Structure 1
Amino acid sequence: MTTKPTTQICAVCGKAFKVKNLRQYEVVRPSLNEAITAKAPTWGPGAAICFDDLRNARADYVEAMLRTERGELTELDRDVIDSLAKGEIITQALSAVVDEKASFGERAADKVATFGGSWTFIISFCVVLFVWMGLNITGWLFKPFDVYPFILLNLVLSSLAAVQAPVIMMSQRRQETKDRLRAENDYRINLKAELEIRQLHEKIDHQMAHQWDKLAELQQIQIDLLEDAIHAKRTPRTP
């Protein structure tokens, strides 16, 4: 009785691995054969490949496919290919990353812009204006220091607008940076999902074709057995 070998040589790197740590040629998708054959000319029936070389072959195949469809690859495309080959998660917590790199002035600009765009600021600002003008018109509690037409109030409002505008622009610029990073992250996720779904379809098609071949082989064996049985029944027995 012959025993199955427990180890086998990888056709790409030439190292010995346990059979459970190898992928046989028969179960590898045909679309990867070209990428593997470029590294291992002996790749064919009976050969096996280790998981590391198989991931590298998948990365080469995806890169070649994207080059054919899109031309020159961007840095984002390469990041997706690397994460796909390594099996890493590509999703990132972008808000936390941006906030960690923000300086004190940038965080202060965000808070000022948040407060300046709230109803609390609008109501408080209106109350201050009405109190300022009312006290200077009526002269109640103290002698008016900014009589009509409220030149000092106009100076304060102009100074506030001059300071508030660049602060809000700083906050908007940080928001644009967050939106750009979020868009890049969404592009990476969508591209990786598209590539994985495409590979999954190829795996399913290959598995179904492999199963159909097995079923056809079993059906042929059954037909042969039936023909043998019919032939044996028709053949007269010799005394």
Structure 2
Amino acid sequence: MNGPSHLKDLARHYLHKDTHALGEEELNVLESIDAHTPIARDATDIDDDQASFGDRMSDRVAAVGGSWGFIIMFTVVLIGWMLLNTDVLVHWGLEFDPYPYVFLNLMLSTLAAIQAPIIMMSQNRQAAKDRLAASHDYEVNLRAELEIMRLHDKLDALRAENSLLTRMVLERERP
């Protein structure tokens, strides 16, 4: 590691900024260049490590509630409920929620009232995960761009040195 003065030089030379004007991602990239460490990380793994129990639960509820399996199963349950309370149990006078299915409407409203905010929590988590992934993508892209610029600088220096050596050899060979 070359230290803070090397970071200043890298920032000025490649980003044309002072270190105090750098964003968090840019500073992370320069520090990883200085330390010769990789910067790429899996944003999903980072997010999963930081997720609370409630976060994981909202993701599971959203995954189930937003699936075709849930829609089909729920449709079967609704049709079964209606058939049970209109055709089957009515013969014995045991229907517990006759038409217009007030109890069923209450259950559906309760389910919707609970499920909607949970799905919104999951969507907010997904948006935060997407922002984290975009930030990491920016860091990786910036690192690659800076490394390419550094390679160009090294190649230019080698060309200049090679040109100087070639001139010196040619001057020695002249009579």
With normalisation by structure 1, the TM-score equals: 0.67
Equivalent position of 1:106 in the other structure: 55
Q: Map 1:1-239 to 2 at 5 A.
A: 52-53=1-2, 58-65=6-13, 66-68=15-17, 72-140=21-89, 143-224=94-175
Relative contact order, higher structure (CA 8 A, sep 6+): 2
Matched residue pairs, number? 171
Which residues of structure 1 form unaligned runs of 5+? 1-51, 225-239
Deviation string, structure 1 residues 105-146 (Cα, Å, up to 9, x no partner): 211111110011111101000000100011111134862111
Moved more, 162-171 or 72-81: 72-81
Moved more, 131-140 or 157-166: 131-140
1:209 Cα deviation from its structure 2 partner: 1.1
With normalisation by structure 2, the TM-score equals: 0.89
AA of the residue aligned to 1:150:
Y
1:98 Cα deviation from its structure 2 partner: 1.7
Deviation string, structure 1 residues 169-194 (Cα, Å, up to 9, x no partner): 11111111111111110111111111
Alpha-carbon distance in structure 2 between the residues aligned to 1:97 and 1:195: 25
RMSD over equivalenced CA pairs, Å: 2.0
AA of the residue aligned to 1:223:
R
Alpha-carbon distance in structure 1 between the residues aligned to 2:38 and 2:85: 64
Higher normalized helix content (fraction of residues): 2
Alpha-carbon distance in structure 1 between the residues aligned to 2:17 and 2:113: 53
The structure having more radius of gyration, on CA atoms, is 1
Alpha-carbon distance in structure 1 between the residues aligned to 2:21 and 2:70: 50
AA of the residue aligned to 2:55:
E
Which residues of structure 2 form unaligned runs of 5+? none
Q: Percent identity?
A: 42
